[in-house]
Chain A
Amino acid sequence: MSDAEHAVTGIECPVYLQYHFTAGRAPARFLTRIREGVLTGQRCPRCSNVYIPPRGSCPACGVPTEEEVVLPDKATVQSFTVVAIPIPNNPIEPPFVVANLVLDGANIAFIHLISECDNSAVHIGQRVQAVWKPREEWGYAMDNIRYFRPLDEPDVPVEQIGRLSVSGWEG
Chain B
Amino acid sequence: MQELAVVAFSQSDCLARAGAANEVELIMPQLQAVYAQVGIRNAQDVDFVCSGSCDYLQGAAFAFVAGVDALGAVPPIKESHVEMDAAWALYEAVLKIRMGQAESALLYGFSRSSSGDLPMVLSQQLDPYYLAPLWVDSISLAALQARLLLEAGLASEQDMAEVVVRSRRNARDNPHARLRGDLSIEALLAEDMFVSPLRRADCAPVADGAAAMIICTVARAREWGVPYAVLSGIDHRIETHNLGMRDLTDSPSTRLAARAAGVAEGPVEVAELYAPFSHQEIILARALELGPDTRVNPSGGVLAGNLMMASGLSRVGEVFRRIVAGDARRGVAHATSGPCLQHNLVAVLESAS
The yes or no verdict on A and B being binding partners is: yes
* 10 residue pairs, one from A and one from B, having the closest CB atoms: A62-B72, A24-B22, A19-B59, A60-B74, A62-B42, A59-B69, A13-B133, A25-B20, A19-B116, A19-B115
A87 contacts chain B at the CB level, 8 A cutoff: no
* Closest chain A CB from B117 CB (angstroms): 7
Assess the A26–B115 pair: CB atoms within 8 A: no
Contact A17 B117 (CB under 8 A): yes
Check A120 for interface membership: any CB of B closer than 8 A: no
Q: Give 1 or 0 for each of B125-162: 1 = CB within 8 Å of chain A CB.
A: 00011001100000000000000000000000000000
Interface size bracket, A side: 20 to 34
User: A25 touches which one: B21, B71, B129 (CB < 8 A)?
Assistant: B21
Q: For the complex, is B68 an interface residue (Cβ under 8 Å from A)?
A: yes
Q: How does the 8 Å CB contact mask read for A25-63 relative to B, with 1 for contact and 0 for none?
A: 111100000000000000000000000000111111111
Which of B23-31, B223-231, B282-290 faces chain A? B23-31
Q: Does B174 sit at the interface, judged by CB under 8 A?
A: no
Could you list some 19 contacts between A and B, CB below 8 A?
Answer: A21-B115, A22-B22, A22-B115, A24-B20, A24-B23, A25-B20, A26-B25, A56-B24, A56-B28, A57-B69, A59-B68, A59-B69, A59-B73, A59-B74, A62-B28, A62-B43, A62-B70, A62-B73, A64-B25
Q: What's the Cα separation between A4 and B312 when bound, in Å?
A: 47
A23 vs B121: C-alpha distance when bound (angstroms): 20
Q: Nearest residue in B to A24 (C-beta to C-beta)?
A: B22
Interface residues on B, range: 35 or more
How far is B112's CA from A14's CA once the two chains are assembled, in angstroms? 24
Verify A21–B59 contact, CB threshold 8 A.
Answer: yes
- Cβ B74 vs Cβ A57 within 8 A: no
Report whether B60 and A21 are in contact in the complex, using a CB–CB cutoff of 8 Å: yes
Q: Tell me the bound Cα distance from A26 to B66 in angstroms.
A: 14
- Whether B58 sits at the interface, judged by CB under 8 Å, is yes
By a CB distance below 8 angstroms, the chain A residues around B120 are: 17
Contact B73 A64 (CB under 8 A): no
Closest to B120 in A: A17
Is the CB–CB distance between A17 and B21 below 8 Å? Answer: no
Residues of chain A contacted by B43 (CB below 8 angstroms): 62
Q: Which residues of B contact A18 (CB under 8 A)?
A: 116-117
Assess the A64–B133 pair: CB atoms within 8 A.
Answer: no
Q: Does B232 contact A (CB under 8 A)?
A: no
| Chain B hits for A59, CB < 8 A | 68-69, 71-74
- CB proximity to A under 8 Å, residues B51-72: 56, 58-60, 66, 68-72
Q: How many Å from the CB of A16 to the closest CB on chain B?
A: 9
Q: Are A23's CB and B22's CB within 8 A?
A: yes
Known: A13-B133, A61-B72, A64-B28. A25 touches B22 (CB 8 A): yes
**Which of A26, A28, A62 gathers the greatest number of chain B CB atoms within 10 Å?**
A62
CA–CA, A56 and B23, complex, Å: 10
Are B132 and A17 within 8 A (Cβ)? no
What residues on B are CB-neighbors of A17 within 8 Å? 56, 59, 116-117, 120-121, 124
Question: A28 touching B115 by the CB < 8 A rule?
Answer: no
- Which chain B residue lies CB-closest to A29? B20
Q: How far is the CA of A26 from the CA of B28 in the complex (A)?
A: 13
Q: How far is the CB of B20 from chain A (nearest CB, A)?
A: 5
The answer to whether B72 touches A60 (Cβ under 8 A) is: yes
